[in-house]
Amino acid sequence: MHPVLKIVIQRLFLGLLTLLVVSIVIFVAVNSLPGDFAQAILGQSATPEAVEAIRRDLGLDQPAITRYFTWLGDMVTGNLGISFAQANFASFVGTSAESGSGPVTVLQQIAPRFQNTMFLACVTAVIAVPLSLTLGILAALFRNSAFDKVANVGALSAVSSPEFFLAYVLILFLAVLNPVLPSLSNIYADMAFSERLTRTLLPALTLTLMVTAQMMRMTRAAIINLLASPYIEMARLKGLSPMRVIVKHALPNALAPIINVIALNLAYLITGVVVVEVVFVYPGIGQLFVDSVKIRDIPVVQACCLIFAGAYILLNLLADVLSIISNPRLRHPK
């Protein structure tokens, strides 16, 4: 078996094992949330019989270990379950159900929201990755210069600021004082691409400020560490320009750590967008997660958490594989 394929299989196995452990943590944490969904939907004046009927209908009366393995088995088969909030409880609350209406599955709720989050992540990545690589290369090329110091101070300031603070600052300058972008990202399915992009730019710029700093500083550090290497000195002695030395000789050998930090930040764009989506009322999976926690919609909360964990583990696995492929010393450890 090829060494790279062997490492990929090992990483995949560890990823699946990690996801299994994370699923246990998610189930325990979500089911430890205070409050009861059945009591919340019926109100404080509900009779114990009605509350118990809803709990029995949702399977909440079963032991925790049984509910976990049922949920895990459904996840493996792609069945995310039925949303508690969208289930039909007309018979319990004394109202009549609409004819033809049925329970809404978790997948039906998550699918459009996940597409919106992926669109936001892609827009941010298209802006942030080239920008951070360019700034990192220029900072390494002109290290200890005024540009290098300003870039580092700006990067540290951005990464040290809370997401909601950056979001409100951008809203103030780009939506209130200079109304060039909308402050609310209320997108919908049939919206034109140009309008969707316009309404997504402000949250995308907020996320760009958060992730660019780490990628820029890692690019700068990785390139500077290689500038004292013998082959870099040889390239300089041949009369190559500093930019050509960095781009053609230093950057390809610095790809492994750069790929790792880019993958981690791309994972953040999917798993860490909750605050940004809430501030801009962006209809993504982060906003759905917060709304579902408020109403104790357990299946949706568990599915969102598992998607976040799976995306993070998958992108870490991808980073490991790309780092191995980009580094001959890792491809051939002997």
Domain ranges of the chain: 1-95+295-334, 112-293
pLDDT tens readout for residues 273-324: 888 988 998 998 988 888 888 877 888 888 888 888 888 888 888 887 777 7
Residue, of 269 and 45, whose pLDDT is higher: 269
Cα-Cα-Cα-Cα dihedral sign, residues 132, 167, 162, 118: negative
Q: Retrieve residue 16's tokens.
A: 């699946």
Mean pLDDT of the chain: 82
Per DSSP, the three-state class of 82 is strand
pLDDT of residue 179: 87
Residue 110 φ/ψ, nearest 5 degrees:
-80, -35
Helix (H, G, I), strand (E, B) or coil at 105: strand
- 96 vs 272, more confident: 272
Please give the CATH topology (third level) of the domain spanning 112-293. MetI-like fold (1.10.3720)
Q: Which of left, alpha, beta for 135 (phi over 0: left; psi -120 to 50: alpha)?
A: alpha
pLDDT at 97: 44
- Please name which of 310, 321, 314 lies closest in space to residue 21, comparing C-alpha atoms: 310
Tokens 């992009």 correspond to 197
Q: Which of 218, 248, 253, 252 is nearest to 236 (CA)?
A: 248
Tokens of 58: 């949702």
What is the C-alpha separation between 64 and 280, in angstroms, rounded? 37
Buried-state track 123-139, b at ≥16 Cβ within 10 A, e below 16? bbbebbbeebbebbbbb
pLDDT grade, residue 95 (50/70/90)? very low
Identify any residues that bridge with 82 across adjacent strands, giving them in sequence order. 105
What are the structure tokens assigned to 316, written together?
């870490």
pLDDT at 65 over 60: yes
Q: How many CA atoms, within 13 angstroms, populate the side-chain half-sphere of residue 277?
A: 25
* Alpha helices per DSSP H over 161-254: 163-171, 193-226, 230-237, 242-244, 251-253
Q: Which two tokens stand for residue 284?
A: 């993504």
136-189 confidence digits (pLDDT tens): 888 888 888 898 889 888 888 888 888 888 889 999 998 888 888 888 888 887
- Give the predicted TM-score (pTM) of the model: 0.82
Nearest to 163 by CA among 264, 267, 274, 271: 274
Q: What are the tens digits of pLDDT across the range 221-250?
A: 888 888 778 888 888 888 878 888 887 877
Total Cβ atoms within 10 A of residue 35: 9
Q: What's the rounded Cα separation, in Å, for the pair 112 and 91?
A: 30
Is residue 99 scored above 60 in pLDDT?
no
Find all residues with CB under 8 Å of 181, minimum gap 6, and list them. Answer: 174, 175, 198, 199, 201, 202
Work out the angle between the directed axes of helices 298-326 and 255-271 (0-180°, nearest 10).
170
Rg (CA), the chain: 25
Helix residue spans in 77-192 (DSSP H): 90-93, 106-141, 146-160, 163-171
The larger pLDDT score, comparing residue 103 to residue 261, is at: 261
Residue 78 φ then ψ, to 5°: 85, 10
CA 61 to chain CA centroid, nearest Å: 33
The pLDDT-based confidence of 96 (bands split at 50, 70, 90) is very low
Lowest mean pLDDT among 41-55, 162-176, 320-334: 320-334
